[in-house]
Chains A and B, each alone.
Chain A
Amino acid sequence: MNPARRQAFDKALDAWRVVYGFARQFTGDAAAAEDLAQEAYLKLWAREAELDLERPLLPLLLTTVRNLARSRMRTQRAQATDELDLESPLESTSPLRLAGVAEERGLVREALAALPPHWRGALFLVDGIDLGYRDAAQALGMTEDVLRVTLHRARQRVRERIGRVVPGAE
C-alpha cells in the first residue's frame, strides 16, 4: 500500500472517536451516531481517488458527517432535538464516578441537549477537541464570524443552565 495513503488512512481511523463524537452532537443517538460516522468514512473511502492525502482527512470527515446529519435531519426533523438520548451512552460507559463531577456533567449534558445541533457541534469542535476556528467553521459549513457568534450564544446558553455549578458563570 502506498505509504502516504496508509498514513493518511491510519490517521483517519485514529480520529474515529472524534468523528463519532461529532456525529453524536447531531444525532443524539449512539447507534445513529455510529451509523453516521461509519457512513462518512465509507464515503471518504469511496472517494479515495479524489483525495489529497497530503492534507488531514479529519476536516473532510467532519464536513461529511455534518452534511449527512443535515440530510437525515431533514427527514427526521421532528426528532432532531426532542428525542436526544441523554442517558444510555453516558450511563453505560461514562467513567464519571465522582458524585460532584457527575452532577456537574449531568447538568452540562442537560444544557447541551437543549441546544440546536449545530450549536452543539460548534462547542464540540472548538471546546471539545480544540479544533481551530477555521477548520471548525469549514466543517460546520459556516464562516468564522458566524462560528464565533454561535459559540458565544451556545456558551451563554450553557452558562445560564449550569450557572450555579460553574464558578464565575452568571
Chain B
Amino acid sequence: MNPTDPIHDDELTRTLRGAFSDEMRAAPPVPKVLVRAFRDETAAKRRRLTAWCGALAVAAALVFMLFVFDRKGVAADPRLALQQAARAYLELDDATLRIDVRLQAIEILTALLSDEHEPQETQTNVAWVRIKAPNQMLLWTDVAGIDALASTVPSAGFDGAEFWSYDRATNVAERTTGGQDGASQFDWMHVLTFDFVRELVEKPGEYGLTERTNATEKRAGLRTFVIDRKTPAPEADDSPFWTEARVTIDAEHGNVERIEGKFKLGPIALAEMTLEVVSTNDGIDAGAFAVTACVPKDAQIREAEVSEDGMRVSIGGVTFSHRVVESATVDGQGPDPQSDPSGFVEAITGLNFDVAQSKTRRGMISTATPYGFVVAAVRADSPAAAAGIEPGDIVLKWNGEPIVQVADLALWIDDGEDTAEAKVEFSRLRKDVTLFSRDPWASFEATLSYTK
C-alpha cells in the first residue's frame, strides 16, 4: 500500500468529513412530494387496485380462453365429438330435412352416458331424429338399451314420443314403451342410427339431399338439407325410380336399409312412408291399406299420378290421395274383370256400384220400382261423370241389355273394343216426388265413351 495514501491521513479525512457534514447539514428538508410518494398509503392502494384489476382481467381472459379451448377440446375429443355429432336431429318439414344440434340431445346423451346408465357402445350410436313434416316417416333405431332410452326421453320433454327398436340381428322392429299418446308436440319421435345420420350429413347427395345451411344456422350448429328437387321425375313404365319405390314399399318397415333406400328414392319414397293416405271411397281402411296401396309390386295399379299438389292412386276403382312433392305416372294391369268385376268397371267407366243395395226396391210409396244397380260413387273426370251419371242413379241397361249382375257388365266391356261407346239407361229419383206420385223415377239415356 502506498504509504502516502491519504486514507491513512486521519486528519485530512476528518477535515473532509467535517466539510461534507456541513454540506449535508445544509440540506433542505425532505421534499413533501417524496414523503407523500414514499409513505402515502393511497398510492400503494392505487397500485394494489391496479394490480388486482390487472389480475382480474387476466383471469377473465383465461376463463374465456378456457371456454374457447374447451369447445375446441370437445371437437378434439373423439368421445365428446361423437356425442356432439350424435346430437344431430333430422327434421322433415315438407320437403326440408333439417339436421340440427339441440341441447336436449346433449342432455339425453349425457344421461345415457352417466352413471345411471352404464355407457355402452351401442348407446353412443344414437342420433335423435325429429320429424315435423305433415307426412311422418318411420325411422328406427338399433339402440340396445331402448328401455333406458325411453325412460330418459320424457324427462327431456318428449312426452308422447313413440319409439321403435330395431334389432339388426333378427331384423325385427318392435314398438316400445315411452311417452304418452297425444301429449307430444311431435307426431313421431324416432331414433335413427348415428352412423346413418352422420352419413346423411357427410354424403347428402347420395340421399337426394342438398345442403341449404346458411351462416346463421351454421353458427348455431344447424345443418339444413332440402330434398333435391332436381331428382329426375319418374317416367312411365320402365322408370327405375318407380321400380325402386315398389321394392321399398314392399319391404318391411323395420329394415333400416330400406329406410336408407327410401331416402335415395327421394320424395316419392317419402310419400310412400306416410300413413296419411286418404281414401276417397268409404269402407276402406286407408291407414292399414296405405302402405301397400301406393305402390305394391304386383298391385293392379291402373293409374298413379303424383304431382306437387298431391298423389292420386287408383286401384280397383278406389282412389287414394296424399301429399307428395314429385310427379310420376305408372301404368300397370287393371283389375281383373272376372275376379274383380266391380273394380274393373270402376276403373274403366268411373262407375262405382253399391252392390249391397242393388236390385232393391226404391222409391217412396211407388211400387213401380225399377231394378238395376245403384251408383255409389262416380270418379271425377271419368267417362261416367262425363255422361252425366250421378251417385244415387240406378243403371238399368247397357247398350239395351238389362244389367242382371255386374260381372256381366264387366264381361261386355272386356269383350268389346278398347275404345268404345255405350248407351246407358238409368233412372233418377224425381225432385218433385210426392206421396201421391205415380212414378217418382225419371228415365234417362246417355252415351258413355270409355277406353280400356
Contact = CB atoms under 8 A, between A and B. Distances in A.
B19 A112 contact: yes
Nearest to A153: B6
Given A89-B23, A109-B19, A159-B6, A34 B28 contact: yes
A38 B37 CA distance: 11
Contact of B25 (A17, A38, A151, A158): A17
A142 interface: no
Contacts of B39: 1, 6, 9-10, 13
Contact of B38 (A13, A94, A112, A124): A13
B34 A158 contact: no
A20 to B, nearest CB: 4
A146 interface: no
A139 interface: no
A41 B22 contact: no
Interface in B273-309: none
Interface stretch (B9-17, B106-114, B146-154, B176-184): B9-17
Interface of A: 1-2, 5-6, 9-10, 12-13, 16-18, 20-21, 24, 30, 34, 38, 41-42, 45, 48, 89-90, 92-96, 101, 104-105, 108-109, 112, 123-124, 126-130, 148, 151-152, 155-156, 158-159, 162, 166-169
Q: Is chain B's interface secondary structure helix, strand, loop, or mixed overall?
A: helix
B37 A42 contact: yes
A105 B12 contact: no
B38 A9 contact: yes
Nearest to B21: A128
Contacts of B5: 148, 152, 155
Interface of B: 2, 4-7, 9, 11-13, 15-28, 30-31, 33-35, 37-39, 41, 44, 47
14 contacts: A30-B26, A30-B28, A34-B28, A41-B31, A42-B37, A89-B23, A89-B26, A93-B26, A127-B16, A128-B21, A152-B2, A156-B6, A166-B9, A167-B11
Contacts of A38: 31, 33-34
Q: Is chain A's interface secondary structure helix, strand, loop, or mixed overall?
A: helix
A158 B24 contact: no
A168 B77 CA distance: 90
B26 A90 contact: yes
Given A34-B31, A108-B19, A155-B9, 4 more contacts: A1-B41, A13-B38, A42-B37, A112-B19
Q: 7 closest pairs, A vs B, by CB? A: A128-B20, A155-B6, A20-B27, A21-B24, A93-B26, A9-B38, A17-B24
A74 B392 CA distance: 125
A105 to B, nearest CB: 5
B189 to A, nearest CB: 63
B33 A42 contact: yes
B15 A105 contact: yes
B5 to A, nearest CB: 6
Contacts of A124: 20
A45 B37 contact: yes
Contact of B34 (A41, A126, A127): A41
Q: Which of B18, B24, B26, B44 has the most CB of A within 10 A?
A: B26
A10 B26 CA distance: 20
B194 to A, nearest CB: 56
A21 B23 contact: yes
A168 B9 contact: yes
A158 B28 contact: no
Contact of A128 (B11, B17, B27, B30): B17
A20 B28 contact: yes
A169 B11 CA distance: 9
Contacts of A101: 18
Contacts of A18: 24
